[in-house]
């Protein structure tokens, strides 16, 4: 297969970037998007050009490292798929494909397609955990967790922290990520003690990082590679207000 | 130097308890004065960093990823073992210990394995408390399944993403400590060297992957938790970033490398399809419960699977191992697949693949049952290959998956460099020559949550660690200079050939010569060719850009440079080990009917290699293994 | 990396409470709910146009006879309205700032046009309301219709409305505004349930449909009036001439 690839090139965090046009010839339909980009890089190297910087690691859709805006859609056209699990057979031969980084004020571009998503880590550091030290745990079966609760918690916990929700949101909002993090714990008995405090502290950090507010367009859900439901955003909104009314969230 | 494993005396059941009651403790008020560097934040690294911080130590944690949540532990699918006996099916710590020692083909240290089995139960308790959403029964209790051919159900799981959920648990608890200021997290920082002062590990050198800045960091102890080195084979199931550099540089600073040739080859991976392929994807072994493995009887049979009649199919596992059939252990299944492909009967592109056929299972059980059991795996296969496994058989092929070898450590998880601890897949310790399914996660968390936090305190309390003087400062500065020189050298070669191309060639060579089947002439030849390729690399590699900014080609080049040296050591280790054990079939050592023959007379030891300035001159040390509790027996699956 | 950012400033309790993005969204949602209720009550009143001149003019007298209560309602409505609009604009500015560099290409997978244009539909409705007030409340748009009196000496609201809508331009503008309102409400009403945290898996299928449904009912009701006038169903009373 052959493609025209328009890629965002940006030398560094402060520099001005632009789209550059390259040809990708001889691409196997069985190549993943990452493999196609790797081949393109080898070609660029041969031409004496600097390869495109992009991130990808596990290549099986679970580590959340890969992050490309492909033809205006986070992780490209296939539903429930990360960039690394997107295969070239999903594109028409001869197509022109535009590749941009995940964009948000809170995700500054470091180089080309590489962005800094450490804002997510800082949100989790504020409350995305259960405070229990090693050695304190009762027996694993001491607290029974109804199966449906465990399943709901797992639905939320599937989040891979890739940032596609932020990238696709017209408002650059991180609500799907934050709500998934909160709902993972809020739906388990173990997570109840810190439920409201956790929610409030994470939301406050989310605001501090400069993410936008949710206007319930649900675009995040459509591009989420793990198809995390926006139902969790409703739960986050509720827990936030309940927590505020209870006066939770103080340090 | 002699290898002292420092195994506590006494009955195997009491060793760990005894160690804990007798170990020296650090006064709580003094703990904050000790600083620990943890390199890597996978299951082992994140859990260790968090637990050390909880205890009050000051922790600096370094990862090359953009976040501590991305380590490759995240990709483990199957589950984590624990001897809980929740299913009342006769499981016990002893049985888990026994299974692990035997599964490791008697090349692991008994005391370590027993401790691992013992701690396994606490891991589950702790992970539940941390909010890991394990699968549950309707009654709310934890669910289990049987995994990897063992006879009890002791595997805990969270859908097909147990690794991710356990890692997120460790990441969350680490994040808590970062938020509290007990851990300073350094992301996008790759360790390039260990700094040894007065014979003790006292710091590391790192490269900031965004700015290219090289800096040294001091500490009272260094913990390496950087995982395995399967990527030496280029195509493996590991993440692209997984690399050997941290442990290799530590090895070059004095840490012995244990059993480097022990790698695990997983039998059920999706085969490579072409030249551009970057990695192999693993599919759960559970597929072998219902799928039948076969190849055509005649060589070069190009017909579609559906048009090959029953009489012309060779169900080779069922034929050779009638009692285990398609469920033969990983090493046997993998090796047999290689044999039939070497025989010219492989299927699919490049003829490196065998069929895993669900036709009979679908006919017997109906498609809905198969969908329910394996739906997500079938979908994944269809997504990757573009083929529908309900109608055409899957194609599978073995792929490197895990490395049992790693830096040699004693019972305290300390390497031969005092103060340098190695945990998780990065060390050699608990799996011998073959790892059982669902025990990698167990080992990583046992090391990080429970073992290291105890043993490191014992090290601090029993060692004098003076503040670094002028010598120390000099060592820190000169190690940093060496790293700077390395990167400058790489960008200045300005050759013609891409790093990727060297890595592919090295990987193919290693897979052919030092993979599942090995023989002396092949290994000798590999050593020669690795040397030649390495020489070419250092004169002709093309690393574009500069060393002062985000330069992924440069990061990659430095890692591949280390693979060359490691590959040579792996071949040397494989060459000296003239026995077949675990997943490693040494062609010179086989039974008359072509099965692996282990040689306990000559090779019942851990091979630990000392770096002496040149890989080819590495010195072998032996830690003899004694089996006082599980008696040496031959594995037979006929 | 340690949490960064400027040192937190001491805020008033209220400021702290309403400072977060989620609290601000609650304000937009709750004021939105109240405005929807107003729109429904207003519609019920307006639909009396179909009952004839007497009913409408009597209704107007009844409203005006409420005296101070009417002012309380009016001021309350203005406060709600101002809060709704100003908070929405505050959030809009925040959301713009959250993506300083726009995509060269951005596609949409599932977000509705209505949801993506709330700030525009809202602004248009805002402008419409000003026009609407100038026309019917302050009588400044078509002043010749503003001071009619019916046979019982009441302010002839009915005729004023009919005369207004007989002007095709006024009707066109009114109908267009109602269609925009429809867009605003169809997303806004459903969205409200999510923002205040009521939307959970069990009620979601209902609340997600409620927005489009209620918006359609409301807007059809409002549009029926100018259409009724243009179709001659709602006619000028005898004695009033255009």
B493 touching chain A per CB within 8 A: no
C4, C97, C110 ranked by CB distance to A222: nearest = C110
- Residue that is last in its domain, among B398, B418, B452: B398
Contacting partners of chain C (3+ CB pairs under 8 A): A, B
Range of the domain at C171: 20-97+118-230
- Which residues are bridge partners to B191 per DSSP? B206
B124 touching chain A per CB within 8 A: yes
Helix or strand or coil: residue B341? Answer: helix
Give the chain C residue whose CA is nearest to the CA of A244: C17
What is the average pLDDT across C100-119? 96
Cβ–Cβ below 8 Å for C197 and A234:
yes
For B560-583, the DSSP string reads: HHHHHHHHHHHHHHHHH--S-BTT
Cβ–Cβ below 8 Å for A208 and C193:
no
B583 falls in which pLDDT band (50, 70, 90)?
A: confident
B138, B159, B549 ranked by CB distance to A147: nearest = B138
- Residue that is last in its domain, among B382, B398, B414: B398
Dist CA B498 CA A41 (whole Å): 10
Q: Give a yes or no: residue B492 inside a domain.
A: yes
Cβ–Cβ below 8 Å for C2 and B187:
no
Q: Are B206 and B184 in contact (CB under 8 A)?
A: no
| pLDDT of C143 above 90 | no
Give the CATH number, domain containing residue B495.
1.20.58.100
C64: closest CA of chain A, how far (Å): 38
Helical pair A118-127 and A175-186, crossing angle rounded to 10 deg: 30
| pLDDT of A223 above 80 | yes
Give contacts of A 74-113 with C, CB under 8 A.
98, 100, 103-106, 109
Label residues B26-65 b or e (16+ Cβ within 10 Å = b).
Answer: beeeebeebbbbbbbbbbbbbbbbbbbbbbbbbbbbbbbb
Using a CB-CB cut-off of 8 Å, the residues of chain A touching C196 are: 237-238, 241
Dist CA A53 CA A73 (whole Å): 19
B126, B240, B550 ranked by CB distance to A114: nearest = B550
C104 touching chain B per CB within 8 A: no
C4, C21, C102 ranked by CB distance to A207: nearest = C21
Cβ–Cβ below 8 Å for A219 and C106:
no
Share of chain A above pLDDT 90, in %: 96
Considering only B174-188, B446-460, B503-517, C136-150, which range has the smallest mean pLDDT?
Answer: C136-150
Residues B372 and B494 in one domain: no
- The two tokens of residue A192 are 């109840």
C1 falls in which pLDDT band (50, 70, 90)?
A: very low
Q: Give a yes or no: residue C76 inside a domain.
A: yes
What is the average pLDDT across A150-167? 97
Cβ–Cβ below 8 Å for C22 and A203:
yes
* CB-defined contacts A:C, below 8 A: 147
Cβ–Cβ below 8 Å for C99 and A105:
yes
Contacting partners of chain B (3+ CB pairs under 8 A): A, C
pLDDT the model gives residue C136: 83
Cβ–Cβ below 8 Å for B66 and A117:
yes
Residues B273 and B388 in one domain: yes
- The two tokens of residue B528 are 């020669």
For C83-100, the DSSP string reads: HHHHHHHHHHHHHHHT-S
Q: Are A237 and C197 in contact (CB under 8 A)?
A: yes
pLDDT digits (tens, 9 = 90+) for C194-223: 999 999 999 999 999 999 999 999 999 999
| pLDDT of B361 above 70 | yes
- Residue that is last in its domain, among B375, B398, B421: B398
| pLDDT of B380 above 50 | yes
Using a CB-CB cut-off of 8 Å, the residues of chain A touching B186 are: none
Cβ–Cβ below 8 Å for B74 and A139:
no
Residues B384 and B274 in one domain: yes
* Residues listed for chain B: 638
Cβ–Cβ below 8 Å for B176 and A89:
no
The single-letter DSSP state of residue B350 is G
Using a CB-CB cut-off of 8 Å, the residues of chain B touching C3 are: 179
Q: Give a yes or no: residue C15 inside a domain.
A: no
| pLDDT of B274 above 80 | no
Cβ–Cβ below 8 Å for B187 and C1:
yes
- The two tokens of residue A63 are 């580590």
Residues B389 and B492 in one domain: no
Which of A215, A217, A249 to probe the C interface (max C CBs under 10 A)? A215
Q: Are C25 and C91 in contact (CB under 8 A)?
A: yes
Number of domains comprising chain B: 2
* B486 closest CA partner among B72, B191, B56, B69: B191
Phi, psi of B207 (to 5 degrees): -115, 125
| pLDDT of B531 above 50 | yes
What does the CA dihedral B480, B482, B484, B489 come to, rounded to 10 degrees?
-170
| pLDDT of B4 above 90 | yes
Cβ–Cβ below 8 Å for A213 and C94:
yes
Range of the domain at B580: 486-624
| pLDDT of B2 above 80 | no
C1, C104, C199 ranked by CB distance to A19: nearest = C104
pLDDT the model gives residue C11: 60
CB count within 10 Å of CB B24 equals 11
Give the chain A residue whose CA is nearest to the CA of B165: A157
Give the chain A residue whose CA is nearest to the CA of C90: A213
Catalytic-labelled residue, pool B69, B330, B352, B518: B330
Of the CA atoms within 13 Å of residue C56, those in its CB half-sphere come to 24
Give the chain B residue whose CA is nearest to the CA of A112: B550
Give the chain A residue whose CA is nearest to the CA of B74: A63
Residues contacting residue C139 through CB under 8 Å, at least 6 positions apart: C145, C146, C147, C160
CB count within 10 Å of CB B478 equals 14
For C173-185, the DSSP string reads: HHHHHHHHHHHHH
C3, C109, C112 ranked by CB distance to A125: nearest = C3
B373 falls in which pLDDT band (50, 70, 90)?
A: confident
B133, B175, B449 ranked by CB distance to A153: nearest = B133
Give contacts of B 248-307 with A, CB under 8 A.
273-274, 276-279, 281-282
For chain A, domains (ranges, CATH) are 3-110 (3.10.20.30), 117-246 (1.10.1060.10)
Cβ–Cβ below 8 Å for A111 and B65:
no
pLDDT the model gives residue B1: 64
Contacting partners of chain A (3+ CB pairs under 8 A): B, C
pLDDT the model gives residue C3: 41
- The two tokens of residue B406 are 């790693």
Using a CB-CB cut-off of 8 Å, the residues of chain B touching A31 are: 274, 276-277
pLDDT the model gives residue A251: 58
Cβ–Cβ below 8 Å for B500 and A42:
yes
B375 touching chain A per CB within 8 A: no
- Which residues are bridge partners to B186 per DSSP? B62
Dist CA A87 CA C15 (whole Å): 50
Of the CA atoms within 13 Å of residue A44, those in its CB half-sphere come to 23
Give contacts of C 2-61 with B, CB under 8 A.
2-3
**Mean pLDDT rounded to a whole number for chain B:** 94
* B132 closest CA partner among A193, A153, A147, A137: A153
Q: Give a yes or no: residue B607 inside a domain.
A: yes
This model of the complex carries an ipTM of 0.97
pLDDT the model gives residue B601: 95
Residues B277 and B392 in one domain: yes
A138: closest CA of chain C, how far (Å): 32
Number of domains comprising chain C: 1
Using a CB-CB cut-off of 8 Å, the residues of chain C touching B66 are: none
What is the average pLDDT across B38-57? 98
pLDDT digits (tens, 9 = 90+) for B82-114: 999 999 999 999 999 999 999 899 999 999 999
* CB-defined contacts B:C, below 8 A: 7
Give the CATH number, domain containing residue B318.
3.90.700.10
Assess whether B529 carries a catalytic annotation. no
Cβ–Cβ below 8 Å for C204 and A231:
yes
**Mean pLDDT rounded to a whole number for chain A:** 96
Q: Give a yes or no: residue B390 inside a domain.
A: yes
């Amino acid at each position: 297969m052959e493609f025209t690839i328009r890629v965002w090139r940006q030398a560094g965090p402060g520099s001005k970037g632009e789209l550059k046009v390259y040809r990708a010839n001889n691409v196997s339909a069985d190549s993943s998007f990452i493999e196609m980009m790797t081949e393109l890089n080898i070609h660029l190297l041969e031409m004496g050009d600097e390869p495109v910087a992009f991130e990808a690691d596990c290549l099986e859709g679970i580590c959340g490292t890969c992050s490309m805006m492909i033809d205006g859609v986070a992780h490209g056209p296939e539903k429930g798929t990360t960039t690394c699990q997107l295969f070239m057979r999903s594109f028409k031969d001869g197509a022109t494909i535009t590749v941009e980084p995940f964009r948000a004020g809170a995700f500054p571009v470091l180089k080309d397609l590489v962005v800094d998503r450490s804002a997510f880590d800082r949100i989790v550091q504020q409350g995305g955990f259960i405070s229990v030290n090693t050695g304190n745990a009762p027996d694993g079966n001491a607290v029974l967790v109804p199966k449906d609760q465990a399943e709901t918690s797992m639905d939320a916990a599937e989040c891979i922290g890739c940032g596609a929700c932020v990238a696709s949101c017209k408002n650059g909002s991180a609500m799907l990520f934050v709500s998934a993090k909160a709902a993972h714990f809020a739906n388990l008995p173990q997570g109840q003690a810190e439920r409201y405090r956790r929610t409030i502290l994470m939301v406050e950090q989310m605001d501090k990082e400069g993410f936008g507010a949710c206007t319930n367009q649900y675009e995040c859900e459509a591009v989420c590679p793990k198809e995390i439901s926006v139902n969790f955003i409703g739960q986050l909104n509720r827990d936030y207000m309940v927590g505020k009314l209870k006066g939770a969230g103080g340090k | 130097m002699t290898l002292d494993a420092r195994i506590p005396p006494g009955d195997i059941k009491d060793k760990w308890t005894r160690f804990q009651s007798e170990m020296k403790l650090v006064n709580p008020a003094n703990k904050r004065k000790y600083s620990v560097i943890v390199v890597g934040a996978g299951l082992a690294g994140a859990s260790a960093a968090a637990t050390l911080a909880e205890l009050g130590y000051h922790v600096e944690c370094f990862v090359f990823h953009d976040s501590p949540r991305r380590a490759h532990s995240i990709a483990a699918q199957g589950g984590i073992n624990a001897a809980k006996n929740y299913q009342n099916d006769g499981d016990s710590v002893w049985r888990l210990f026994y299974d692990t020692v035997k599964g490791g083909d008697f090349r692991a240290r008994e005391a370590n394995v027993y401790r691992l089995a013992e701690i396994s139960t606490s891991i589950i308790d702790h992970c539940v408390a941390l909010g890991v959403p394990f699968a549950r029964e309707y009654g709310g209790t934890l669910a289990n399944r049987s995994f990897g051919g063992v006879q009890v159900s002791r595997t805990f799981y969270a859908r097909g993403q147990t690794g991710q959920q356990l890692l997120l648990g460790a990441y969350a608890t680490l994040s808590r400590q970062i938020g509290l200021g007990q851990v300073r997290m350094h992301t996008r920082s790759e360790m390039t060297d260990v700094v040894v002062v007065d014979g003790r590990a006292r710091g590391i050198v790192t490269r900031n992957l965004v700015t290219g800045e090289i800096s040294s960091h001091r500490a009272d102890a260094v913990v390496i938790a950087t995982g395995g080195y399967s990527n030496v084979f280029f195509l493996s199931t590991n993440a692209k970033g997984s690399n050997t550099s941290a442990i290799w540089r530590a090895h070059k600073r004095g840490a012995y490398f244990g059993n480097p040739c022990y790698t695990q080859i997983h039998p059920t991976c999706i085969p490579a399809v072409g030249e551009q392929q970057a990695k192999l994807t693993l599919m759960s072994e559970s597929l072998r419960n219902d799928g039948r493995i076969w190849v055509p009887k005649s060589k070069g049979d190009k017909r579609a699977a559906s048009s090959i009649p029953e009489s012309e199919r060779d169900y080779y596992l069922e034929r050779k191992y009638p009692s285990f059939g398609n469920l033969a252990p990983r090493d046997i299944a993998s090796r047999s697949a290689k044999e039939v492909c070497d025989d010219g009967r492989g299927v699919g592109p490049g003829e490196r693949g065998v069929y895993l056929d669900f036709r009979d299972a679908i006919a017997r059980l109906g498609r809905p049952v198969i969908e329910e059991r394996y739906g997500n795996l079938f979908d994944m296969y269809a997504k990757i290959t573009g083929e529908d496994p309900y109608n055409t058989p899957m194609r599978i092929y073995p792929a490197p998956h895990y490395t049992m070898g790693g830096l040699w450590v004693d019972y305290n998880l300390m390497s031969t460099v005092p103060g340098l601890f190695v945990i998780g897949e990065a060390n050699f310790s608990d799996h011998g020559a073959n790892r059982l399914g669902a025990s990698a996660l167990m080992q990583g968390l046992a090391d990080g949550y429970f073992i290291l936090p105890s043993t490191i305190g014992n090290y601090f309390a029993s060692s004098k660690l003076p503040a670094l003087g002028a010598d120390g400062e000099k060592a820190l500065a000169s190690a940093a200079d060496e790293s700077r020189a390395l990167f400058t050298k790489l960008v200045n070669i300005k050759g013609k050939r891409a790093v990727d191309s060297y890595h592919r060639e090295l990987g193919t060579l290693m897979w052919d010569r030092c993979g599942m089947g090995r023989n002396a002439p092949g290994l000798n030849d590999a050593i020669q060719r690795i040397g030649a390729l390495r020489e070419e690399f250092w004169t002709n590699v093309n690393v574009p850009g500069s060393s002062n900014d985000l330069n992924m080609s440069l990061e990659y080049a430095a890692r591949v440079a280390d693979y060359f040296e490691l590959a040579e050591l792996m071949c040397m280790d494989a060459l000296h080990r003239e026995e077949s054990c675990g997943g490693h079939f040494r062609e010179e050592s086989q039974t008359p009917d072509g099965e692996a023959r282990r040689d306990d007379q000559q090779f019942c030891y851990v091979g630990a290699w000392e770096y002496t300035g040149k890989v080819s001159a590495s010195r072998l040390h032996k830690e003899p293994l004694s089996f006082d509790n599980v008696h040496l027996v031959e594995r037979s699956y006929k | 990396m340690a949490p960064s950012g400027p040192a937190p400033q001491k805020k008033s309790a209220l400021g702290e409470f309403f400072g977060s993005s989620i609290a601000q969204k609650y304000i937009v949602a709750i004021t939105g709910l109240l405005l929807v209720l107003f729109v429904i009550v207003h519609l019920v009143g307006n639909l009396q146009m179909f009952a004839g001149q007497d009913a409408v003019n009597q209704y107007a007298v009844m409203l005006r006879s409420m005296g101070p209560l009417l002012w309380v309602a009016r001021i309350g409505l203005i406060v709600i309205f101002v809060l709704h609009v100003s908070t929405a604009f505050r959030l809009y500015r925040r959301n713009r700032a959250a993506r300083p560099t726009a995509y060269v290409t951005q596609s949409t997978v599932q977000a509705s046009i209505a949801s993506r244009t709330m700030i525009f539909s809202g602004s248009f409705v805002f402008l419409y309301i000003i026009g609407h007030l100038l026309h019917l409340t302050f009588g400044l748009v078509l002043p010749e219709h503003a001071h009619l009196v019916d046979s019982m000496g009441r302010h002839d609201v009915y005729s004023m409305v009919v005369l207004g809508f007989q002007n095709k331009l006024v009707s066109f503008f009114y109908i267009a505004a109602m269609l925009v309102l429809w867009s605003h409400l169809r997303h806004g009403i459903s969205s409200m349930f999510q923002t205040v945290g009521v939307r959970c898996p069990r009620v979601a299928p209902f609340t997600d449909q409620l927005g489009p449904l209620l918006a359609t009912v409301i807007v059809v009701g409002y549009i029926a009036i100018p259409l009724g006038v243009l179709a001659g169903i709602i006619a000028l009373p005898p004695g009033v001439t255009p």
